[in-house]
């Protein structure tokens, strides 16, 4: 009878599987904070670099490696958010968070909470926290508000834990999350059932393919907005297109540029029904939708190829 092999360790007595097992949650956290999978991966890589930069004795003295990694990753993201606004002011056109496909396996948040016993009504659901509408709303917040809201409402960290990460008091962190939550609620509407959203997206696809302007107008809210992100790398509207008639005519004009080698596929974008546009086997744009009632209120079209890497790599 053979015994199980001893767990691999990192030189400090810590099981490597424990350390690397935290990566999924760290990516999940960093993506929600930064709105970019590429930046999230960089932040997590930097987190592990700092872990292994310590001596084995220093690592062995850390009681909760997972907690240490989360704190460091959060601080790195906080620093990145502080400089992101300046970078995005130089961005060509509109900046939209990087869309992620349905197959992404790291979207779940922290399974268990800390000592905080906040009302569940004050929490954001996991699915909602990766929706394009939610991520866009986060962009209007300060870095500290964003970190407090995500860590508390999504990952269920107590305000005492968040205070250690942000360098603020628990009371200040509670207020940051409260202000952020009020901002989200001011912009949110009751979400339409997923089946209803999928139906509207499907009808939009068919009307778009048929170049049916009237059909598109009927699907859009009168005050609908279309926002595109080409990053200066591909052609895209540099400013949002507002109004359902203007949007309908705009997307029909886009369809006139498509060829027989381009297909529209119904897919899941950030946990909600969306569309992926393919040229041969390459995804060239991803469309996310916000649906209120029986109308589409916002369309986000990500065309920047740098943001479509997860869709192309498969």
6 part of a folded domain: no
8 part of a folded domain: no
User: Same domain, yes or no, for 199 and 166?
Assistant: no
**Is the pTM here over 0.95, yes or no?**
no
Q: Give the integer Cα–Cα distance in Å for 221 and 243.
A: 8
Domain harbouring 206, CATH code: 3.10.450.50
The per-residue DSSP string of 182-227 comes to HHHHHH--PPPPHHHHHHHHHHHHHHHHTT-HHHHHHHEEEEEEEE
User: Same domain, yes or no, for 181 and 203?
Assistant: no
For 247-257, what is each residue's pLDDT tens digit? 999 999 988 66
Question: How many C-beta neighbours within 10 Å does residue 99 have?
Answer: 27
User: Same domain, yes or no, for 31 and 180?
Assistant: yes
pLDDT by residue for the chain (314 residues), tens digit each?
A: 444 444 455 555 556 777 888 898 899 999 999 999 999 999 999 999 999 999 999 999 999 999 999 999 999 999 999 888 778 888 999 999 999 997 655 555 554 444 444 554 455 555 678 899 999 999 989 999 999 999 999 999 999 999 999 999 999 999 999 999 998 888 777 778 889 999 999 999 999 999 999 999 999 999 999 999 999 999 999 999 999 999 999 999 988 666 678 889 999 999 999 999 998 889 999 999 999 999 999 999 999 999 999 897 65
Residue-range definition of the domain harbouring residue 151: 16-187
Q: Give the integer Cα–Cα distance in Å for 54 and 57.
A: 8
- Tell me 122's DSSP state: G
* DSSP strands (E only) in the chain: 220-229, 241-242, 262-269, 272-279, 282-292, 295-302
For 128-161, what is each residue's pLDDT tens digit? 788 999 999 999 899 999 999 999 999 999 999 9
């Amino acid at each position: 009878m053979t015994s199980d092999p001893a767990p691999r360790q990192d030189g400090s007595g810590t099981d490597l599987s424990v350390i690397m097992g935290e990566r999924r949650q760290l990516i999940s956290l960093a993506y929600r904070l930064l709105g970019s999978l590429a930046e999230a991966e960089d932040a997590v890589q930097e987190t592990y670099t700092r872990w292994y930069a310590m001596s084995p004795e220093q690592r062995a003295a850390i009681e909760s490696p997972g907690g240490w990694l989360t704190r460091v990753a959060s601080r790195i993201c906080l620093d990145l958010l502080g400089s992101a606004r300046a970078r995005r002011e130089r961005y060509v056109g509109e900046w939209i968070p990087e869309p992620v496909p349905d197959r992404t396996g790291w979207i779940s948040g922290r399974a268990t909470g800390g000592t905080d016993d906040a009302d569940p009504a004050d929490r954001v659901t996991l699915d909602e926290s990766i929706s394009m509408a939610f991520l866009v709303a986060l962009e209007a917040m300060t870095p500290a508000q964003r970190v407090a809201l995500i860590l508390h409402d999504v990952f269920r960290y107590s305000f005492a834990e968040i205070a250690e990460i942000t360098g603020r008091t628990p009371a200040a962190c509670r207020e940051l999350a409260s202000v952020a939550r009020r901002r989200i609620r001011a912009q949110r509407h009751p979400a339409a059932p997923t089946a209803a959203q999928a139906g509207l997206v499907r009808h939009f696809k068919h009307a778009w393919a048929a170049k049916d302007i009237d059909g598109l107008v009927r699907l859009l809210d009168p005050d609908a907005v279309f926002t595109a992100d080409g990053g200066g790398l591909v052609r895209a509207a540099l400013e949002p297109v507002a109004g359902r008639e203007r949007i309908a005519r705009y997307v029909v004009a886009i369809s006139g540029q498509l060829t027989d080698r381009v297909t529209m596929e119904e897919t899941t974008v950030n946990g909600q029904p969306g569309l992926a546009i393919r040229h041969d086997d390459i995804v060239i744009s991803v469309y996310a939708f916000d649906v209120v009632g029986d109308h589409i209120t916002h369309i986000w079209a990500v065309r920047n190829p740098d943001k479509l890497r997860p869709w192309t790599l498969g």
